[in-house]
């Protein structure tokens, strides 16, 4: 049996309830939202930890703020992570299933690791109210745990892209079938860093938004907000420079037969990255003025890079003559309509409390 035949056999025999392009589009959109919030969680914990150990009035204050925000961002990241994972399991089920089976202990360990990261972040935030100079070790634990969880997911994703290696991994112990699930078989450092370094880009922009958001509050020190905004712009600028280098390093390490150097989405993402760098260089002088435009630009750049990532995945799997567009389709209009109706209703229902929370935190609730 060749690889393509095996992949077809591993597909859900009932097919998908709607056209695959819809699941692919939703997967790209939800993963973009997920990875942005992951960036905020990882970057927030990292900067909060640094400020805690570095000390100083402004740094301590920022550390408290980011520690609190990171617990929320980590919660949202976990919830948002469910959506793209479900869409992956719908249209890329053979690859995700086999990869998780090969490394089952690591897949389960991911759940434990992310739980530790979440609990440690909460301890770091809550316990320091009584003793502001203590509990920094929990920030270190949380950061290490969340980065390690990202490493596991990155490895599981990459393993699914090389079905030509699966048989070797399954029979890697003297020809005996290996079902222990204790090993990670494939990992790309460049790819992993390409998703991790933007944590500092987006937390830097978040700090600029922080300064912009709290500016109307009379109980906030203006000089403190100036410092937060400028520091955020500087952190994001340096991180973009590093990200550009890492991005091209990962690109050059990709298999040449994929011809990804000529991919329009890759170059569009690179162009947006350079535009973001230029904007951050300008933002160091007036961070609050550029906060909202740069946040929007960061979202667009991330979305384009996620599209490029999806195109790259299709190129990898195209080598095995696999296409999601060949997936059997058995349209179920009822479940599809129910999905979209509940999705729109959910947005409408959540819009009001979010508006109230936004204005309440800014001290402008009377304008609601």
State the DSSP string of 104-147. HHHHHHHHHHHHHHHHHHHHHHHHTTT-TTS-HHHHHHHHHHHH
Mean pLDDT of the region 209-229: 92
- For 59, half-sphere exposure in the C-beta direction (CA atoms, 13 angstrom radius) is 12
CATH of the domain at 130: 1.20.1630.10
366 in a structural domain: no
Is residue 81 over pLDDT 70?
Answer: yes
**CB contact at 8 A, 149 and 111:** no
The pLDDT tens digits of the residues spanning 305-341 come to 999 999 999 999 988 888 999 888 988 898 889 988 9
348 in a structural domain: no
**CB contact at 8 A, 76 and 39:** no
Is residue 368 over pLDDT 70?
Answer: no
103 in a structural domain: yes
350 in a structural domain: no
Is residue 366 over pLDDT 70?
Answer: no
164 in a structural domain: yes
243 in a structural domain: yes
Quote the number of domains for the chain: 1
340 in a structural domain: no
Whole domain around residue 301: which residue ranges? Answer: 3-331
pLDDT at position 174 is 61
325 in a structural domain: yes
The pLDDT tens digits of the residues spanning 134-188 come to 788 899 999 999 999 999 999 999 999 999 888 888 886 666 777 788 889 999 9
């Amino acid at each position: 049996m060749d690889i393509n035949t095996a992949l077809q056999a591993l597909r859900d025999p009932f097919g998908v309830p709607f056209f695959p392009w819809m699941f692919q589009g939703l997967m790209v959109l939800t993963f973009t939202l997920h990875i942005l919030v992951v960036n905020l969680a990882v970057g927030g914990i990292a900067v909060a930890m640094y400020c805690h150990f570095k000390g100083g009035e402004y740094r301590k204050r920022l550390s408290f703020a980011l520690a609190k925000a990171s617990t929320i961002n980590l919660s949202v990241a976990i919830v948002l992570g469910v959506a793209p994972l479900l869409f992956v399991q719908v249209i890329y089920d053979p690859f995700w299933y086999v990869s998780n089976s090969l490394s089952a202990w690591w897949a389960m360990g991911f759940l434990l690791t992310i739980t530790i990261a979440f609990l440690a972040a909460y301890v770091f935030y809550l316990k320091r109210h009584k003793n502001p100079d203590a509990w920094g070790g929990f920030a270190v634990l949380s950061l290490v745990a969340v980065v390690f969880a990202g490493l596991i997911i990155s490895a599981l994703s990459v393993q699914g892209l090389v079905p030509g290696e699966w048989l070797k991994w399954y029979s890697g112990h003297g020809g005996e079938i290996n079902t222990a699930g204790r090993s990670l078989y494939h990992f790309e450092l460049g790819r992993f860093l390409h998703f991790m370094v933007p944590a500092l880009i987006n937390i830097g922009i978040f700090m600029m938004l922080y300064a912009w958001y709290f500016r109307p509050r009379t109980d906030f020190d203006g000089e403190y907000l100036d410092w937060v905004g400028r520091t955020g712009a500087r952190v994001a600028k340096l991180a973009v420079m590093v990200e550009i280098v890492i991005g091209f390093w990962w690109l050059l390490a990709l298999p040449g037969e994929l011809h990804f150097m000529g991919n329009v989405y890759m170059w569009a993402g690179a162009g947006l990255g350079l535009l973001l760098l230029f904007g951050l260089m300008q933002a160091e002088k007036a961070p609050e003025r550029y906060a909202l435009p740069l946040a929007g630009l960061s979202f667009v750049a991330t979305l384009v890079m996620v599209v490029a990532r999806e195109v790259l995945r299709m190129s990898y799997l195209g080598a095995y003559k696999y296409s999601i567009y060949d997936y059997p389709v058995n349209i179920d209009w009822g479940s599809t309509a129910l999905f979209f109706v509940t999705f729109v209703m959910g947005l409408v229902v959540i819009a009001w409390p979010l508006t109230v929370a936004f204005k309440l935190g800014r001290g402008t609730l009377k304008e609601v």
